[in-house]
Structure 1
Amino acid sequence: MSSDAPVGARPPAGRTFFGHPRALSTLFLTEMWERFSFYGMRAILVLYLTATVADGGLGIGESTANAVYGTYNAMVYLMALPGGWVADRLLGARRSVLWGGVVIAAGHYVMAVPTGWSVFAGMALIVLGTGLLKPNISTMVGDLYERDSPRRDAGFSIFYMGINLGAFIAPLITGFLGEKINWHLGFGAAAVGMTFGVAQYVLGRRNLGDAGARPADPLLGADRRRALTRAGAVTGVLLVVLLALLLTGWFTVNTVVNLLTAVTVLVTVGYFARILTDREISGTERRRMKAYVWLFVFAAAFWLIYDQAGSVLNIFAADRTDRNVAGFTFPASWLQSVNPILIIIGAPLAAWLWLRLGHRVSTPTKFAVGLVLNGLSFVLMAAAAQAAVGGDLVSPWWLVAVYAIQVAGELSLSPVGLSATTKLAPVKYASQMLGLWFLATAVGDAIGGQVARLAQNWSQSAYFLTFGLASVLLGVAAVMFTRQIRGMMAGIH
C-alpha cells in the first residue's frame, strides 16, 4: 500500500478511531471484509476445482487447477493498474472503491450459483472489482493525513491489521461451509462478507469528508472522449479475440490461462520499457530504475513460490496431512489462516528489527534474505513430501512451520519493497509505481501458476526441492551482486 498517496481534504473532526480519524474505521472495515471475501474464496478455490463431480466439485486436473489459481491471482494484481487510472482520471477513489465492492460482491454471488460455469464468470467479476477497490482504498487512507504527519505510518499499520484480520477469519468460515457442507455455500459466505463491507462503507461515507471524492487528475472534454474511445476499442479487440477462440474451438480453460499469463508478462515488459526509454527522466533516475528491475525480478521470484500456499500446498494439506483432532477432521483450508495470524504477530517485530539495524542492512540484502527463507520453506516441504511417500499422512505442523518461514521471508521483502518502490521512483512516475509493484506479484503468480503444473507430474519431494534450492541460489546471487545494485540505486538505501 502506498504511503505517498495524494493528499485530499481532511475528513470532518469528531470521534476518533484509536486516536486516528474516524474515517479510518470505515476504510479499515471495508478492506477487512474485502479481504475476508477474497481470501475466503481463495482458500477453497483449488479444492473445489479438483474435487470430483460426485463430491460437488468440477473434477479438473491438479495441474490445470493450479494454473487457474495462479492466473486468477495475477489478474487481480494486474487490474490494479487500470483501476488506479480509472480513479485518478474518471471516477475518483471514493466511487471507484464503492463500485469495486459492488462488482466483487456480485462476483461472489455468481460463484454461489451451483453450476459449472459460475465459478469462472464470478472470478472475472471479482478481478474487475478488486482492480477498482484494492489500490484506491489505500490511496484514501493516505488522504486522511498530511503527507508528513507522524501518525501516517501508524494509520497504515492499523489498516494493514484489517487486511490480515479478514484473511485470518475467512478460511475458518468459508472452509468449513465449503468442505463440510457445500462448496457454493462457502462461496456464498464470501459474498455475504463483501456485502457487509459495501453496506458499512455506504453508511460510513459521512466520515470521509472530501477524501477521495474527486479524481486527482480528471480527464475533461475531448481528452475524456478520446480516452473512453480507446477503452472501448480495447474492449472490442478483447471481444473479437474471445469470439475467435469460441469459433475456432480453442476457447478452453488452458488456452485462456496461457493467454492471460502471456499478457501479464508482456504488459510488465512494456511498462518497464516505457519508463527506461523515457527521455524526460534523468540519468540518475534511469540508473535507479535499472536497480529496481533487479528488485522486481527478485520479488516476482518470491511470489512465484509464496503464493502456491493456496494451490499446491493447499492440495497437500487436503491429501497428505492428518487433520484429525479428537475425532474431528478439520478442513484443509483452515491452514490458510496460519499465514495472516503469523503476519499479525510478526509485523511489529520485523518493524522493530529493521529500525534497530538501520542502514547497516541494505534493501537488496533484505530481498536476498526473503528469497533464501522462501527457498528454505520449500526445502522443508520436500522433507514433508518425502515423509508422506507411500500414502502416509503427516502432521499439519509441517505446513505451519513452512508458513512461519515464508512469513519471515515476506516481512523481509514485501514492506521493504513498498518502501523501495517509492524511493526509487522517477518523479514523473511517482504515482504509478505502486501499480508497478503490484505487477511483481502478478508476474510471480502468473508464472507460478504455470510452474505449479509440474507438481502433478513430478514427485512432490523433487518439485519442492528443485524450486526451493533455486530460490536459495537466487538469494545467494542477490547477496553477491548487492554492491552493484546499491551502486545503481545512487544513494538510496
Structure 2
Amino acid sequence: MNTDIENLFKDKVLGHPAGLFVLFFTEMWERFSYYGMRALLVLFLISSITDGGFGWEKAEALSLYGTYTMGVYLTPVIGGLIADKLLGYRWAVILGALIMTLGHAAMAFETPLMLYVGLGCLMVGNGLFKPNMTSIISNMYKDHEEKKDGAYSIFYMGVNAGAFLGIMLCGYIGENYSWSLGFGLAGIFMFLGMLQFYFTQNIFGSIGLSPKKKLALDSETIGKDGDQDFVEVNEEEASSKVVFDRLIAVGVFCVFTVFFWAAFEQAGGSMTIFAEEYTQRNLVGGYGTLFKYVDALLTIIPLGIITYVLYILFKKTFAKYAVGNIILAVSFLVIWGIVGWKINRDFSNDQVEVPATWFGILNSLFIITLAPLFSKWWESKYNMSGPLKFGFGLLLLGLGFGFLSMGSQSIVAGEPIMKVSMFWLIAAYLFHTMGELCISPVSLSYISKLVPAKWIGFMFGVYYLFIAMGNKLAGTVGSYIEEIEKAYSISGFFLIFTVIPIVAGLLIAGLNPLMKKLMHGVK
C-alpha cells in the first residue's frame, strides 16, 4: 500500500484527488499557450508583410507547421527518459514550462530568427513537460485502476479548457490587434501555470520526485516502519510473456494513432485556411446580433464552470498551498478581465466578422461539454473495449471530414471563391471532437495500464513519437492542398481524410478479438 496515494485520495474534488485538479490547471495553462500560439502560426506566416505577417506560401507555412507539431511530440521520448533517470516528473514539468515561456517570449519579437528560436524552445520544453504530467497521473492511480479512464477524461477536459481559452483570446488579439500581443499572451499564462505548479507540488507527496530523492525517502520510511510493503519496487511483476504481449498491443494502438492525428491535425492547418478563405464569416443584421450573444455565452459559461471547479479546489487546498492558489486566482482574474473587454468591444461594433481562429474553439468547447458524459460512459456497464473505442473514434473523425467534403462541393478551382456556410465546419468539429474523446484520453489510460510502472515515462514518450509522425504527416499532406484543389477540388482534398480514417477504424475494430488476447485481461 502506498501511503502517498492513499493520502491523495482522502481529499477529493468531484470524486477524484485534489492533486488531479492541480494537474488539471497546470495543463490548462500549458495548453492555453500551445493552442493560442498554434491558432495564429499558419495565419501569421501566410499573411502579407503589410498586414504584419511573413508573406509565406501556404505549402511552406503548412510544412513548417507540420515540422513544429511533430517536434513537440517527438521530444517527449527524451523528456520521459530524463525524468525517469534524472530529474523526476515534477522538476521536468517545471523546467519544461520555463523553457516554453522563453519560447513564447522569443516569438513575440516577430523576426525570422526569433521565430525559429521560439519554436525550438517550445519543442524542447514540451518534451520535458508533456509526458511527465501524464506519468504523475499514472502513479496517482496505480492502486485505483478502475478510475483511470475517468481521471484521464477529466484531465483531458482541463487540456481543452486551456485550448478553448487560448484559441479564443490569443487568436482574437492576434487577428484584431497584434501578432506579437497574441504570441506574448500565450507566454504569460505559461509562466503563471509553471508558478502555480511549483508552489503546489508538495500535494503529491513523494510522487514525481527525482530517483535519488525517492530512494532516500523510501529508505527512510522502511527504517521507521520496517515494512517493505511501502516500497514500490516490490510491486507484483507480470510474466515476461504477458508484458511482451501487452507491449505489442500498445504498439498497435500507437500505429492507429498515426492515422488519427494525421487527419485530426488538419485543424491548425488546412481547416484554418478553409475557415479563412472559403467560409462565410461576415454576419449582418439579426445573425450578427445572435452571434454576439452566442459567442458571449460560449465564453462565459465554460469559464464560469472552470472557475467553480477552481473554487472547490480552493476549499480543499488553500490552507496548505496558499501561494499556488493565489497565483491561480490572479490568473483567472486576468482572464475574466480580458473576456470582459472582448465582449464589450464586440457589442460596441455594428459589423461582425467571425475570426478564422474562432472555429478552433469548437473542438475545445465540445470536449468541455461532452467529456463528463464520455467519462461516465467509460465507467458504466456499456463501456467498450479499447480497440472498439479506437475504431468508433476513427469512424467519427472520417464522418467529420465527410461534412467538409460535402459542403465544399460547390467550390471550383479557378473560379471566383465561393463562401460556404459555417455549418460545415461546426459539424466537422463536433464529429472530430467525439472521435478524439474515443481515442486520445483512452490511449493515455491504456498505456498506463498495459506498461510496467518502471517504463511509464519512456513509453508515454514513445506514444508521443507516433503522434509526432501523425502531425508531420498532417503538415506534409496539408501542404498539397492547393495542388490537389487545382487537380481535383477542395472537396476531393477533404475526401482523402474521410476515407482513410474510416478504413483504419474498421480495421482496428476487426482486430478486437486478437487485441483482447494480447492485453491479458486489461480492460
Alignment TM class, shorter chain as reference: 0.7 to 0.9
For residues 416-427 of structure 1, what are the structure 2 equivalents within 5 Å? 416-425=442-451
Farther off after superposition, 440-449 or 139-148: 139-148
Aligned to 2:26: 30
Task: Choose the corresponding residue for 2:399, options 353, 376, 379.
Answer: 376
Deviation at 1:287, TM superposition (A): 3.7
TM-score by length of 1: 0.78
Q: Mark the CA change 1:181 to 1:428 in structure 2 (over 3 Å): closer, same or farther.
A: closer
Distance 2:420 2:125 in 1: 39
Hey, what's the Cα distance between the residues in 2 that align with 1:109 and 1:471? 37
- Which segment drifts farther, 57-66 or 138-147? 138-147
Q: Is the 2:154–2:371 Cα contact (8 Å) retained in structure 1?
A: no
Could you tell me how far 1:434 is from its partner in structure 2? 2.1
SS at match of 1:386: coil
Cα deviations by residue, 1:351-401 (Å, 9 ceiling, x for unpaired): 333444546x43222222222221122222112222344411112221110
- What is the rounded CA distance, in whole Å, between the counterparts of 1:138 and 1:294 in structure 2? 20
Residue 180 of structure 2 aligns with which residue? 184
* Percentage of matched positions with identical amino acids: 36
**1:338 partnered with 2:362:** yes
Indicate yes or no: 2:41 matched with 1:45. Answer: yes
Give aligned pairs, total.
Answer: 428
Give the aligned partner of residue 113 of structure 1: 109
Matches of 1:205 and 1:295, distance apart in 2: 32
SS in 2 for 1:172: helix
Equivalent position of 1:413 in the other structure: 439
CA distance in 2, matches of 1:72, 1:387: 33
TM score, norm. by length of structure 2 = 0.74
Who is 2:273 aligned against?
A: 315
The CA deviation at 1:15 is 7.8
Larger mean Cα displacement after TM superposition, 133-142 or 422-431: 422-431
Q: What is the aligned partner in structure 2 of residue 451 from structure 1?
A: 477
User: More deviation in 119-128 or 129-138?
Assistant: 129-138
Q: Secondary structure at the match of 2:402?
A: helix
Give the Cα separation in 1 of the matches to 2:435 and 2:139.
Answer: 30
- Aligned match of 1:401: 427
**Which of 288, 292, 304 is residue 262 of structure 2 equivalent to?**
304
Is contact 2:4–2:205 with CA below 8 Å preserved after alignment?
Answer: no
| 1:178-208 C-alpha deviation (Å, 9 max, x unpaired) | 1111112110111111122123234434545
Please, which moves more after superposition, 110-119 or 410-419? Answer: 410-419
Match of 1:172 among 168, 171, 177: 168
Determine if contact 1:292/1:424 at 8 Å carries over to the other structure: yes
Structure 1: gaps of 5 or more residues: 1-5, 221-279
* Partner Cα separation in structure 2 for residue 55 and residue 352 of structure 1: 47
Which residue number in structure 2 is paired with residue 364 of structure 1? 387
1:438 counterpart residue number? 464
| Deviation of 1:209 (Å) | 4.5
1:324 aligns with 2:282: yes
The answer as to whether partners of 1:371 and 1:409 remain within 8 angstroms in 2 is yes
Rounded to whole Å, the distance in 1 between the matches of 2:197 and 2:144 is 27
Q: Residues 303 and 441 of structure 1 are in contact (CA less than 8 Å); yes or no, is this contact kept in structure 2?
A: yes
Decide which of 128, 142, 147 is 2:143's aligned counterpart. Answer: 147
Task: Provide the secondary structure at the position in 1 that maps to 2:409.
Answer: helix
Q: Summarize the alignment of residues 1-12 of structure 1 with structure 2, pairs less than 5 Å apart.
A: none
Question: What is the CA-CA distance between 1:286 and the residue it aligns to?
Answer: 3.3
Report the Cα distance in structure 2 between the residues aligned to 1:19 and 1:422, rounded to whole angstroms: 20
Equivalent residue for 1:100? 96
Matched letter for residue 465 of structure 1: L
Work out the CA distance in 2 between the residues paired with 1:432 and 1:415. Answer: 18
**Does the residue aligned with 2:112 lie in a helix, a strand or coil?**
coil
- Aligned CA distance change for structure 1 residues 331 and 83 (closer, same or farther; 3 Å): same
Selected match of 1:465 from 484, 495, 501: 495
Q: Which residue of 1 aligns with 2:66?
A: 70
Q: Give the distance between the partners of 1:205 and 1:432, measured in 2 at CA.
A: 22
Alignment-mate amino acid for residue 353 of structure 2: T
Aligned Cα root-mean-square deviation (Å): 3.1
TM-superposed deviation, 1:25? 4.7
Checking the alignment, whether the CA contact within 8 Å between 2:258 and 2:467 is kept in structure 1 is: yes
User: Partner of 1:401: helix, strand, or coil?
Assistant: helix
